[in-house]
Every structure is written in C-alpha cells, then in structure tokens.
C-alpha cells in the first residue's frame, strides 16, 4: 500500500518581506479583475514569482458547472460556452482558483486553443481543444518574462484580458468563450523592454528591487531558509495571517460593486491624468477601478482622495513613456503636485477666488507642466555635464594648442570641435594651433538631430531565426506559403497541417482503403506539413565612423540622429543590436550585441569623436564580433549598418592603402555572408564618393542619411504617382 506524499505548500503571501506595492497591486486586481492586471518589473532574485504564485492560494474557491472545461459559474453560465448550454442555477462543485502559467515558448494554439487534431482524424468531428485562456478563467494567468514573449501572443493575451472573452478563429474552428482572469506579468528590464503600446495594456505596474537595508535582507534570508527547512511548519505558522488576508479579499470582492465614485473624485482622476499628459483614456478607467478596489479593500463605502493617490501611483508610471527609450517611472513630488492642482478642479463650483486673486498658499511650479516635462531635470543635468565637459576641453585646448582641432579633416573643412563658432574664430591674440599627431583629441559628439521614422532595412533571402518584424523567415506563426515536400516530418499541431495537400495525398487511395459514405479515410502518411512564412528579428550591428572628418560641420549630429532612428526601428522589430565605433588608430566594441536597445542609445549619447579614420579596423572588428555571435546564435542573421563618409586615413597594415584595405575588409564581410548597408554621410560641395566603393566591395546597397527616412521615401513615391 502506497502512502500519498503531501503536497509541498507555496511560500505564504503574508510572509513576503517588503514589496508592499507589489502585494497591494496584486490584491487590488484580485478584488477587481477589471483593472487589467499587474506588470512587475524588477531585477532578478527579488521574489516576483514567489509573490504571484502565493496569491492564488488566497483567492476564494469557485463554484463551477461540473464537467465544464471553461469554468462556468452555475448561477451565471456563459451563454456561448462551447461546452454548454448550461442551465442557470444548476448544481455546482467547488474548485480552487487556478494559477495558470504561460511559458515563454508557448504557441498561439496553446494559448487560445485549436482544432482537436486527434478527434478530427479518429472520429471525423471538428472539435475544439481549449487553451490556457480557458484554464485561467476566474483564476490567475501568470506570464514570467513577459517581455520575451512573442508580440502577437502578448497582443492576444492583453486583448482577452481587456474584453473578458477569447475569440478563436483558426483551423476551421470559430469559438468564443469567457476569459476573465487576473493577469500578472513579470520581467527583468535588463533583458529588453516591452513596447509602450503593450505596456499601456497592463492596468498597474510595480517596480521591484532588492532592499538595501541590512536588517531587511537578513529577514528575507531567515524566512527563506526556514521555509526550505520545513515548508509545512513554516506555512502553518503563517496560517492565521493568510486566513485574515483571504477573508479581507473575499469581503472586498463583495463590497467593490457598491463602492461610490462621486463626480468630485472623477474630476480629480481626470485632472491627474491630464496633468501627466497620458495618451488615451485607459489610464482614467484603470485609476477609477483601482481606486474603487482600494476603497473596498480598506472597508470604505466611497472613493476618497487617498484611494485616487494610491491608484495613480500604480497606474501612471508605465504610461508616461513618450518615447520607446524613456524609462518608466513617476516622481512622487510630481504626483503630489498634480493631486494638489487637481483638488482645485475636483469641485465643479469652487466659489469666488480670494480677494488677492491668488489660489492661497505658497507659490509653486505649475504641476500641470511638471509631468509633461518629466525628465527635464535629467536632461538639464546632462546638458550641464556636457557643458562642463566642453568647458574642460576649452581649458585644455587653451593650455595645449595642439588639442584645439582634430588631426583628420577633409575638404569640408576642419573638424567640429563641439565649441561655438565664435570660439573657433581666430582673434587678434590667437596663436595658430599646432597640428596634432596620432589619435587626435577626444570630443563629445554633438547632440543628435531629431529622430525620424526609418525605412525598413532587410536581410535578403529566407531565414529561420528568432521571431521579429524585420526580414522574411520560416516561422511557426505566419501565412502558409506552400506544403512541405512529401516525406518531411509529420505535423504535430493542427495549425501545422496543410489541409488541401493532405486531402490531395489521401484522395487516390480511398478505394483501396475501403471508403464508404462521405467520410475521408486518412493515414499518418497522408499528412502534409504547412510551410509558414513570417518575419524574424536580426542582429543589427551598427559600425559608426566617429573620426574627425565625420565631425566636420556637425555632421555627427545628423549621423547620431540617423543611428537613433535606426535603433528605434530595431526596437520595434525585436532585433538584437550592437555598436562598434572607430576613430583615432583603432576600433572599439562600444556595446556587445544585446536585446536591450535602450542600452545602445545610452552608449550612443556618450560617444566621443575626433581623430583619424581607421575604417578597415572598424570593419575587421565588426567581422570578429559577428563571428562570435554566429557561434552563440547561429539562426539569427546579421545586418551590418556602416555609417561613414568613406575617407579612410589609417591602413590596416603598415604601408598599405587605407581605402584599399577598407574595401578588402568589406569583401571579407561579404564572403562571410554578412549583408551590409552603407550609409553615405559625406556632405559639402566636394564629394569623393569613397563610401560607394565600400558598398560595392561589400555587395550591399548604398543609401544617404536622407534616404533612411521612410516618410521621405513615401513622399517621393506619392509625388511620382501624382505626376
């Protein structure tokens, strides 16, 4: 006789040390699932997953229709339930709230469900196999590393969470079923950000980081070790607090529908959202629902200002991103200022103003402007730092005239030093600057010009790399282009079956198989695999010429703006990016290939310019970087974007010709199968066309900085059509 092994309990929700905002956000969503879920951002090892998994144990049990795979409630079953119809008021059974985990490698049919292939082949019926959305109905759907999930799956997930229903139209199946669940996603920002459009779909967000207080860290370790030593005893010690929290959640769930939200608080919510200049109306709705949930959680009958404050603090940080590279976050003082200003608008009839015409109290900055200018302090600080650097450079130049101007410049004139033009004009007491040798001076790159919408640069051919939005590739999700050749591997999913080819393969054998009636007899050998074509993400390696000739006439500002535009494009197309710069006597890998595109932007803003042009060294360094990445991720195809004017001045070998060596390095990249796009940054009345020679050697296209703009290309096409 075997003895059942007791199930190891989860770490208690009440025993999680700190992380008050995380626990509160989870509780508010449990009270009011219409809030839209929680996105938990934070560094690794901060108990994000532990807290989420512990919450499910606190949710009250569910009354479900017996045998219903979609968890319908007996008193109000889903009228469109695929397992229905169910009679309202029938007998139900108790089932614990489900915690469903969506793995990063999940496919669309696993998420939303698909045709039951086994029943279709064995019984000849078109049956629906539910997915994880059906399992999560009235429970918790947990997505760890949500930023690594395929974009189309995130869209499906958030659509279902927002509408409360899942609509399935695939494989000849048309199904709609209820899918109301508490959506929780966790992510580590170091591994890449979610796009702002997807961030906005999460109701609340919480930033989690490990405590820096020694006592708190000691308590975390103490509790974890105690749990690992005896999980049952540890859980039993917290049973009282767990039961109290579960009771409060159940009471708040019953109370939340009756919580009043007066016009005064609605106006406060609208004023705060307007002050922070958030897009759309989703933030207003989320704050209203979260404020009602918080009022129910604290046992109140009506929403008050403190509820709005808590809801806004959790709902606004990830909606303040005006740019893909902006860091989510909210300043507490900005929020207090916005709430203080909103108080004046909360009362629709505030009465006559004071005699002095003022609003009373100490003067303050306009809180409506502060949120819109969020980060201005950071920008001004950066400018001050840059100004300080420029000042230091000017002082150094005065002390050492040899550093007053870069060594390498072309027909465009001397290289830009980053100083104002009036400082570069020789005065009556100005001595001629000696011409430096070697690496030349180091200058801060001028600020980038306004970024633009970049046109898509693609790697030719068909790849099979990581899903993305840049180059054509064979993928698991995409349009069907043709059936696989006979003898290829049999499809494992209904979505992988090429039905016309399968029927065509089985049709000639029906008489031999004793077919009777209208049915079609299939065998495994008849199945044909569908070849799907979609898009993949690439490794985009930027090789940027940061020499003195590029800094001439502030061309580097335009080049930096172009790189920033291409980085945004890479961010949206889910690429990995790397950055190589070359100047002076060599090349530097400024940013190893990474999925964190904002990191590349940060490195770009600190790039230094000046000196000679070792173009060949830059291309050879890029070749070595790509060779290493090919071993790490052989399926991800590289796209090299070279931004240069082509004026190479440093050969790769002693006594060599700089331009010839650069062309030879470009040929080596082409021999490795690297697709190279050369962006010609040359400007001015005298143009040597050296970048074109590099493009020919690399076997890739040549474009100018202006031609990188998709808007400009679209405008040219429209003008041509109109003509």
Alpha-carbon gap, residue 184 to 619, rounded angstroms: 44
Report the b/e string of 499-510 with b at 16+ CB within 10 A. eebbeebbeeee
User: What pLDDT is stored for residue 122 in this prediction?
Assistant: 58
User: What pLDDT is stored for residue 312 in this prediction?
Assistant: 92
Is residue 414 scored above 70 in pLDDT? no
Is residue 618 scored above 90 in pLDDT? yes
Going by C-alpha positions, the residue among 267, 259, 315 that lies closest to residue 292 is: 259
Torsional sign, CA 679, 685, 688, 689? positive
Alpha-carbon gap, residue 723 to 713, rounded angstroms: 15
**pLDDT band for position 572 (cuts 50, 70, 90):** confident
Is residue 108 scored above 70 in pLDDT? yes
Helices (H), 482-554: 499-506, 548-551
Highest mean pLDDT among 66-70, 183-187, 675-679: 675-679
Alpha-carbon gap, residue 617 to 582, rounded angstroms: 7
Q: Which residue has the higher pLDDT, 116 or 620?
A: 620
User: What pLDDT is stored for residue 297 in this prediction?
Assistant: 95
**SS3 (DSSP) at 229:** helix
Is residue 426 scored above 70 in pLDDT? no
Is residue 383 scored above 80 in pLDDT? no
User: What pLDDT is stored for residue 255 in this prediction?
Assistant: 93
Torsions phi, psi for 140 (to 5 deg): -120, 130
User: What pLDDT is stored for residue 716 in this prediction?
Assistant: 35
Which residues 6+ apart lie within 8 Å of 411 measured at CB? 684, 685, 686, 688
Is residue 117 scored above 90 in pLDDT? no
Q: Which residue has the higher pLDDT, 518 or 434?
A: 518
Summarised one tens digit per residue, pLDDT across range 41-97 is: 887 778 888 888 888 888 888 888 888 888 888 888 888 888 888 888 777 888 888
Upper half-sphere CA count for residue 240 (Cβ side, 13 Å): 1
Q: Quick one: what percent of the chain has pLDDT higher than 70?
A: 75
User: What pLDDT is stored for residue 623 in this prediction?
Assistant: 95
Highest mean pLDDT among 312-321, 418-427, 535-544: 535-544
Q: Quick one: what percent of the chain has pLDDT higher than 90?
A: 24
**pLDDT band for position 380 (cuts 50, 70, 90):** very low
Which member of 282, 289, 319, 637 is catalytic?
282
**pLDDT band for position 342 (cuts 50, 70, 90):** confident
Is residue 541 scored above 80 in pLDDT? yes
Going by C-alpha positions, the residue among 163, 165, 199, 194 that lies closest to residue 179 is: 165
Alpha-carbon gap, residue 662 to 621, rounded angstroms: 12
Strand partners, 186: 40
Alpha-carbon gap, residue 248 to 244, rounded angstroms: 6
- Please say whether the beta carbons of 137 and 182 come within 8 A: no
User: What pLDDT is stored for residue 31 in this prediction?
Assistant: 92
Helices (H), 440-596: 499-506, 548-551, 555-572
Please name the helix (run of DSSP H) or strand (run of DSSP E) that holds residue 469, with its range, or none.
Answer: strand 467-483
**pLDDT band for position 405 (cuts 50, 70, 90):** very low
Q: What is the mean pLDDT of residues 677-706?
A: 89
Helices (H), 480-638: 499-506, 548-551, 555-572, 597-605, 615-632
Q: What is the mean pLDDT of residues 647-673?
A: 90
Which pair of tokens denotes residue 476? Answer: 């698991």
Query: Any idea of the CA torsion for 86, 89, 94, 99, to the nearest 10 degrees?
Result: 60
Highest mean pLDDT among 66-80, 140-154, 655-669: 655-669
What is the arrangement of strands in the sheet containing 539-545, beginning at the earlier edge strand? 586-594, 576-583, 539-545, 638-644, 675-680, 702-704
DSSP 8-class letter at 202: S
Alpha-carbon gap, residue 403 to 390, rounded angstroms: 13
Which pair of tokens denotes residue 153? Answer: 């799956």
**pLDDT band for position 371 (cuts 50, 70, 90):** very low
Strand partners, 73: 76
Summarised one tens digit per residue, pLDDT across range 323-339 is: 555 556 677 777 888 88
Strand partners, 467: 536
User: What pLDDT is stored for residue 243 in this prediction?
Assistant: 92
User: What pLDDT is stored for residue 349 in this prediction?
Assistant: 57
User: What pLDDT is stored for residue 490 in this prediction?
Assistant: 66
Alpha-carbon gap, residue 211 to 219, rounded angstroms: 11
Decide: residue 346, CB within 10 A, 0-12 exposed, 13-18 middle, 19+ buried.
buried
**pLDDT band for position 368 (cuts 50, 70, 90):** very low
Active site residue 282: yes
DSSP 8-class letter at 79: T
Across all residues in the chain, what is the average pLDDT?
77
| Least reliable range by pLDDT among 328-337, 532-541, 684-693 | 328-337
User: What pLDDT is stored for residue 360 in this prediction?
Assistant: 38
User: What pLDDT is stored for residue 352 in this prediction?
Assistant: 52
Which residues 6+ apart lie within 8 Å of 21 measured at CB? 206, 207, 313, 314
User: What pLDDT is stored for residue 328 in this prediction?
Assistant: 61
Decide: residue 425, CB within 10 A, 0-12 exposed, 13-18 middle, 19+ buried.
exposed
Please name the helix (run of DSSP H) or strand (run of DSSP E) that holds residue 588, with its range, or none.
Answer: strand 586-594
Which residues 6+ apart lie within 8 Å of 87 measured at CB? 77
- Please say whether the beta carbons of 320 and 326 come within 8 A: yes
């Amino acid at each position: 006789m075997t003895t059942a092994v007791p199930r190891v309990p989860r770490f208690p929700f009440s025993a999680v040390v700190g992380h008050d905002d995380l626990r509160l956000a989870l509780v508010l969503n449990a009270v009011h699932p219409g809030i839209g879920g929680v996105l938990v951002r934070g560094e690794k090892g901060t108990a994000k997953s532990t807290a989420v998994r512990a919450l499910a144990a606190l949710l009250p049990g569910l009354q479900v229709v017996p045998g219903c795979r979609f968890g319908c409630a007996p008193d109000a079953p889903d009228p469109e339930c695929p397992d229905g119809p169910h009679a309202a008021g029938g007998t139900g059974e108790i089932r614990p709230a489900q915690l469903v985990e969506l793995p990063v490698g999940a496919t669309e049919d696993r998420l939303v469900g698909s045709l039951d292939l086994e029943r279709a082949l064995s019984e000849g019926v078109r049956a629906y196999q539910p997915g994880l959305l059906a399992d999560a109905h009235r429970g918790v759907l947990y997505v760890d590393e949500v930023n690594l999930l395929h974009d189309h799956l995130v869209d499906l997930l958030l659509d279902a969470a927002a509408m409360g229903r899942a609509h399935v139209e695939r494989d000849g199946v048309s199904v709609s079923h209820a899918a109301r669940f508490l959506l929780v996603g966790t992510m580590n920002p170091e591994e890449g950000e979610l796009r702002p459009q997807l961030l906005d779909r999460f109701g609340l967000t919480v930033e989690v980081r490990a405590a820096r207080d020694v006592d708190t860290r000691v308590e975390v370790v103490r509790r974890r070790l105690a749990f690992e030593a005896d999980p049952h005893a540890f859980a039993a010690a917290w049973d009282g607090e767990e039961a109290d929290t579960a009771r409060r959640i159940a009471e708040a769930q019953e109370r939340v529908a009756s919580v009043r939200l007066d016009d005064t608080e609605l106006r406060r919510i609208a004023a705060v959202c307007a002050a922070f200049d958030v897009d759309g109306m989703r933030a207003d709705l989320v704050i209203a629902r979260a404020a009602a949930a918080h009022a129910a959680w604290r046992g109140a009958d009506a929403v008050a200002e403190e509820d709005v404050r808590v809801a806004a603090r959790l709902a606004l940080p990830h909606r303040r991103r005006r740019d893909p590279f902006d860091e989510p976050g909210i300043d507490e003082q900005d929020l207090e200022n916005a709430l203080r200003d909103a108080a004046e608008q909360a009362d629709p009839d505030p009465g006559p103003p004071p005699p002095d015409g003022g609003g009373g109290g100490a003067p303050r900055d306009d809180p409506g402007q502060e949120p819109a200018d969020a980060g201005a302090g950071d920008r001004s600080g950066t400018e001050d730092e840059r100004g300080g650097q420029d000042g230091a450079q000017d002082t150094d130049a005065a002390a050492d005239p040899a550093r007053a101007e870069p060594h390498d410049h072309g027909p465009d004139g001397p290289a830009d030093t980053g100083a104002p033009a009036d400082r570069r004009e020789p005065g009556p007491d100005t001595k001629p600057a000696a011409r430096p040798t070697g690496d030349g001076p180091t200058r801060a790159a001028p600020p980038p010009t306004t970024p633009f919408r970049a046109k898509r640069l693609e790697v030719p051919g068909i790849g099979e790399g990581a899903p993305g939005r840049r180059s054509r590739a064979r993928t698991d999700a995409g349009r069907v282009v043709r059936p696989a050749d006979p003898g290829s591997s049999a499809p494992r999913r209904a979505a992988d079956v090429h039905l016309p080819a399968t029927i065509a393969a089985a049709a000639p054998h029906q008489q031999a198989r004793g077919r009777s009636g209208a049915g079609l007899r299939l065998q495994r050998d008849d199945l044909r695999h569908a070849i799907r074509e979609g898009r993949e993400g690439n490794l985009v390696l930027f090789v940027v010429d940061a020499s003195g000739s590029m800094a001439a006439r502030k061309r580097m500002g335009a080049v930096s703006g172009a790189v920033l535009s291409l980085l945004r494009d890479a961010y949206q197309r889910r690429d990995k990016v790397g950055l190589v710069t070359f100047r002076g006597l060599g090349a530097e890998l400024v940013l190893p290939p990474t999925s964190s595109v904002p990191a590349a932007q940060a490195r770009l803003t600190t790039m230094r310019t000046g000196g000679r042009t070792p173009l060949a060294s830059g291309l050879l360094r890029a070749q070595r970087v790509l060779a290493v990445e090919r071993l790490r991720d052989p399926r991800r195809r590289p796209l090299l974007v070279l931004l240069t004017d082509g004026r190479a001045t440093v050969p790769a070998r002693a006594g060599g010709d700089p331009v010839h060596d650069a062309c030879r390095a470009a040929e080596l990249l082409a021999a490795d199968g690297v697709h190279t796009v050369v962006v010609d940054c040359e400007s001015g009345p005298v143009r040597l066309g050296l970048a074109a020679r590099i493009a020919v050697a690399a076997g890739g296209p040549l474009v100018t900085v202006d031609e990188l703009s998709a808007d400009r290309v679209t405008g040219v096409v429209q003008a041509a059509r109109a003509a």
